Structures are given as structure tokens and as C-alpha cells.
Amino acid sequence: MAWQHSSTDPRSTTPDAPDWFANDDRGHVLREEGGRFVLLDQDGPGLLARLWSANPERGGTLRIYVDHATEPVIEGRMEALMDRGGLGPWPLSSRDGGGSSVHLPVPYREHLLITMDENRGKGVYWVAQGLTWTDDRAIRSLDHDDLSLQPQEVTRALGGPRRAPDRSPRVHSDLAPGERKGLVLTGPSVVEALTVHVTPRPLDGLWLEATFDGEPSVEVPLAGFFGVGSPSAEGEAYADFWRSAGIDHDGFVGRSRFPMPFRSDASLTLVNRSDRTVAVRMFIEQGELGPGDWLRFRGTHRSASLATRPYSDFTLADWEGPGVLVADTLTVENPVEAWWGGGDEKIWADGALLRGTGTEDHYGNAWCSTAVWHGPFGGQARNDRSAFTEGTCDHSGGISVLSRARLLDAVPFERSLRFDLGVRHREDTTIRYDATVLGYSGALTPP
């Protein structure tokens, strides 16, 4: 089961509450005791997968205790621990886009306690996320010896998708407006890697559709699938753990390593919904489907033009389980200079609410950053800089493309998942949201 705790405004309790969109999202903690501020007091067994803050310099000393120990397994100035290379080499500990994030996993068998000894100014913005489960046999709690290891192998493994070999089956064809070209595969098998070349760029109007074992499962714009944007707006380059995208000669190349299992048959199809002809090539790498229970890969797309008054929520995905959320890409088209991203993320996994502190915080940014960056856990592939030079939240117009890639911070669910973002713009205007969400939903039919 996934859990998430944060400094979100405690007045935001349920969607029908009058303060559902309250936005005083800093300084709030679980409790204060003995001169310390308790962020998290979580029973195990479980795993801390992600810790994020916009202003860790206000938290003083951070301490993490496991299994009711009286001495912390991690202790230090919060700002230093959460800086680039603090608790581990980048990207396990990073500061990108103004946000400080730690993805160094902290396993615990019985209990996890996180505290800080300061909460200065108007307080710390923070989010802590992890997992709990019922069987502790596979868990060994973190100890000091673990922190002395140099996890170079881990950081190498977090690199972007490897190049898929250029082998059959493949698509190599011009794709006229309204035309479809694809591959039909026989199983049991797993699509382990997918590579798509498109010439010329841009990708507007190009979509990927996929069916596994007769079930339509994927219908998304190529730009959203590869993390660079929407059907009509895209960034130049992007790479996370699951996918990469960039320029290859005079066109676009995108690669993914999302496992896509199927038992009997699968089809992967490129669809041209634009009014121009493009040249496309598609390569795949297949592997053997091993024994055990498998989930069906899923990708969905939603878009909407929304009035910003009154405040509302934009639903990115509403899935039935069982499944797991592993990645999403959001494109925002903001017609005015004022900041658009104050709305919190709200993810309901089997009815349990995982709430954060803001849209940009969900993607690892902070303070309405205009930085273009990416890493294994996500990033911002595009942010149209305003004609203004101040770089403040009051000058944030244009198109932004943000992505999140989940590994240990994936969100599993048995029955249902709903993923909302609050639309809480500073101005009364109309804004366009476009979202591609990727993961797994629905078990494969046994052979």
C-alpha cells in the first residue's frame, strides 16, 4: 500500500469541504514534541521512497529513526542532506528546478520516525512518500553500514533507456494524414523496448495505440508517451528511467523500456491525426514472458480547457485495478503571465488520499521554476520563458511540459486509482491542461 504525508493545508479534508482548495501548504507537521517537529510516525514494515522539500534550509537538523531506535540512522542539516550529492550521489539526492529530493530508499521492519528541529520563517514545505506491506520477511532495516556503501551500480542502472536493437519486426514507411501503420506480435511475450523515429519534427497529431490480448490498452500522443509534451506542444529533449526523447538527424527519436507483457497477441500502431505526411520507423525488442501474475500495460490521455475561477480539479486518470501508476506527463498552456501551478496533487489509491503541496512540487520543481532539466525521476522538458527577465511567479506565461517517472515511489492499487491536480491559477482566465498517464491496470488473462 502506498502512503504519502506532507505539509499540505490541514483545512483541505474532503472534496465537499469549503476549504478543499486551501493553499497554506507549509509549516504543517504531524505534531510538535520535546522541541522537535515530527513529520512522519509510520508503522512498518515499509520503505521511505521519496523525500522532497522546497526550503530544507528552514528545517534545521533532520533525523530519521528506524525500528524504535533511540539513535537516528540518518542525522544532519536538512539542507545539506537534501542537496545534490547529500545523502547519496545524484540522482539519489538532488536539487533540480528549485526542489530538493531524496530517493535513497530507507527500509524499516517495525517503525519509521522522521523529525526536524526547526521550522523557521513561515515553515518548511515537505512531502514524504513510501510503501507499507504485510510481510516483513524480505525487509532488512537500514543501518549505518548501508550508508557507507557507494551505490555507483545503482546510479548507473538509473540511466535512461538503452538503445533498442534495429531488428524485425519493424515499421518503415511514410504515414499520410489519417493513415495507420503498426506491428502485430504473437505471444506469450513481453515488449521490452520500443523505439520510434519520426521525420520531420514536430510530433503534433501523431499517436500511439496498443492492444494486448484483445484489450485496447494504450491511446496516447507520442509526445506524451515519450515525456516531451502534448499533441500540439513539445519540448526538445527529455530522459528519465523509463523513456528518452530527442533529435536524431533531421527528426525525432524516442525510446522506452516500459515492459509490455501479453499472453496471446499484441498490436502496436502509429496513427497520423495531423494534416501532413511524415516518415516513421518503429523497432521493438521482445523478451520471454516468465511465469507468474502479470499486469497489462496501460496509457491514457486527457485534456481540457478550464476556467480558473472558481477553483477546480483536473482529473488526469481514473483507472480500475489492480494496477500501478508509474509515469505521467503534463502540458500546461498558460495564456497570461501569472503563475498557474499552485494546485495540489491528489491521488486516491483504493480510496486512500495521497496529497501533496503543489503541481510543481509533484514533479520535483519548486518556486515556479523556469529551469529546463530532467533526470531518472522526472523533470521539466519545456518552459517558455516570458519576455520579462525577473523569473518570478508573476511572469510565468506560455507552455510548460513536466514529467514524473516512478520507481520505488510507484503507486500500487487493488481496486481503483484516481489522479487529480488542483487548478489554482493566480488569475481569472482559461488554461489548457493535457495529460498522459502510464502504468499498469488489469491482470492478464491466464493462458
pLDDT tens digits along 171-191: 899 999 999 999 999 999 999
At residue 248, the pLDDT reads: 76
CA distance 68 to 76: 19
Q: How high is the mean pLDDT of the chain?
A: 92
Q: How confident is the model at residue 235 (pLDDT cuts 50, 70, 90)?
A: confident
Phi, psi of 154 (to 5 degrees): -65, -45
pLDDT tens digits along 89-136: 899 999 999 999 999 999 999 999 999 999 999 999 999 999 998 877
Whether residue 81 contacts residue 70, with contact meaning beta carbons closer than 8 Å, is answered with: no
At residue 393, the pLDDT reads: 79
At residue 194, the pLDDT reads: 96
At residue 445, the pLDDT reads: 76
Residues 6 or more apart in contact with residue 217 via CB below 8 angstroms: 210, 211, 296, 297, 298, 299, 442
pLDDT tens digits along 385-423: 766 666 677 778 899 999 999 999 999 999 999 999 999
- Residue 153, amino acid: E
> How many C-beta atoms surround the C-beta of residue 165 within 10 A?
10
329 has a pLDDT exceeding 90: yes
160 has a pLDDT exceeding 80: no
Beta bridge partners of 307: 430
Whether residue 295 contacts residue 322, with contact meaning beta carbons closer than 8 Å, is answered with: yes
Whether residue 417 contacts residue 411, with contact meaning beta carbons closer than 8 Å, is answered with: yes
146 has a pLDDT exceeding 70: yes
Residues 6 or more apart in contact with residue 387 via CB below 8 angstroms: none
Mean pLDDT of 420-441: 96
Mean pLDDT of 421-438: 96
Residues 6 or more apart in contact with residue 244 via CB below 8 angstroms: 160, 161, 226, 227, 238, 254, 255, 256
342 has a pLDDT exceeding 90: no
At residue 394, the pLDDT reads: 74
pLDDT tens digits along 298-321: 999 999 999 999 999 999 999 999
pLDDT tens digits along 47-89: 999 999 999 999 999 999 999 999 999 999 999 999 999 998 8
CA distance 345 to 398: 21
- Alpha-carbon distances, residue 139 vs 69, 111, 178, 426 (angstroms): 17, 12, 52, 45
CA distance 411 to 221: 23
At residue 99, the pLDDT reads: 96
CA distance 421 to 377: 19
pTM, 2 dp: 0.95
